[in-house]
Amino acid sequence: MDKIGIIGIGNMGGAIAKALCEEKKNLIIYNRTESDMDGFKGIDNVTIAKSNVDLVKQAKYIIIAVKPVVCPTVAKEIKDYLTDESVVISIAASYTLEKMERLFPGRKIVIGMPNMPAIVMEAMSAICPNDRLNENELKDVIEIFSSFGEVTELDEDKFAAFTAVCGSLPAYIYMFIEAAADAAVLNGMNRKDSYRFIAQTVLGSSKLILEGKEHPAKLKDDVTSPSGTTIEGLKVLEAHGFRSGIIEALNEAAKKYREM
Ligand SMILES: NC(=O)c1ccc[n+]([C@@H]2O[C@H](COP(=O)([O-])OP(=O)(O)OC[C@H]3O[C@@H](n4cnc5c(N)ncnc54)[C@H](OP(=O)(O)O)[C@@H]3O)[C@@H](O)[C@H]2O)c1
């Protein structure tokens, strides 16, 4: 694959860079604060660029991993150095294809939405290319996103829903884990063990859906024995609006995405 450039080595850019390094991809990176790239110095397949422009001159695939508010500044800096072969990949929340095409007129563009588990190479990402990419370029982009988890090609009108259920959801899952650990501590368990036990339970429960392909309602029913402990807790969750709370939270996240 041609050289991949990453602009912005923060949480997400750093995770993507680490994954691509492990895949031995030909990589070039640049970050405003130089010291943030220290961990990548001396790695065979990684070049540290002198600037964003230097990076763009060397890479075919250019992943922009800066905060959304910084994207126009970066675009202004690099746009005159892109060629007809460059593929610009944005992972900035709210940057639609239309918005990107305004920043990079006439260029090959992909909008992508990874999520935080990219750090452990278990992301769920969505991508949507414009119609300028050829088949091989699209294959390469899928390979790039696959290096840090699962990826799906998605119509742009599904990005608001996707960002809510994959981008925001990790935060709510962490809140859920934290609250469950509070309950465990309240009942005498130490916090460290609680986090480990609960996280493994969330992981295993997810695997049952991914691998067993069972309906979540059936799995819930299987855990809920007559007159047992689970149904007692379930009754309380229903009384506190657990389901509607989740639906409303994710709906608000999707709404906010559309307004940005
Ligand atoms: N975090 C997530 O879960 C997540 C999920 C999906 C998508 N995203 C998207 O990913 C993007 C990055 O998010 P993040 O959480 O990784 O942010 P972050 O940790 O703040 O990383 C952004 C990085 O960009 C660097 N930077 C700022 N201006 C620059 C410039 N002009 N040239 C080169 N580098 C520059 C920053 O360096 P300094 O240290 O100098 O500021 C920082 O290291 C955002 O657009 C976000 O919407 C994030």
Structure confidence by residue, pLDDT tens digits, 55-68: 999 999 999 999 99
Residue 213 has pLDDT above 80, yes or no: no
- Domain boundaries along the sequence of the chain: 4-154, 161-259
CA 24 to centroid of ligand 1, rounded, Å: 23
CB-based contact 138:154 (threshold 8 Å): no
CB-based contact 124:115 (threshold 8 Å): yes
pLDDT at site 56: 97
Between the CA of residue 223 and those of 33, 171, 201, 240, what are the distances in Å? 50, 25, 13, 20
What angle is formed at CA 74 by the lines to CA 68 and CA 76, rounded to 5 degrees? 120
What tens digit of pLDDT does each residue of 1-55 get? Answer: 899 999 999 999 999 999 999 989 999 999 999 999 999 998 889 999 999 999 9
> Taking CB atoms and a 6 Å cutoff, what residues make up the pocket around ligand 1?
7-13, 30-33, 36, 52, 65-68, 70, 73-74, 91-93, 113-116, 167
pLDDT at site 93: 85
Into which CATH architecture does domain 161-259 fall?
Answer: Orthogonal Bundle (1.10)
Distance CA(197)–CA(193), nearest Å, equals 6
CA 65 to centroid of ligand 1, rounded, Å: 5
Average pLDDT over residues 219-229: 95
What tens digit of pLDDT does each residue of 84-100 get? Answer: 999 999 999 889 999 99
Class of the domain covering 4-154: alpha beta
Share of the chain above pLDDT 70, in %: 100
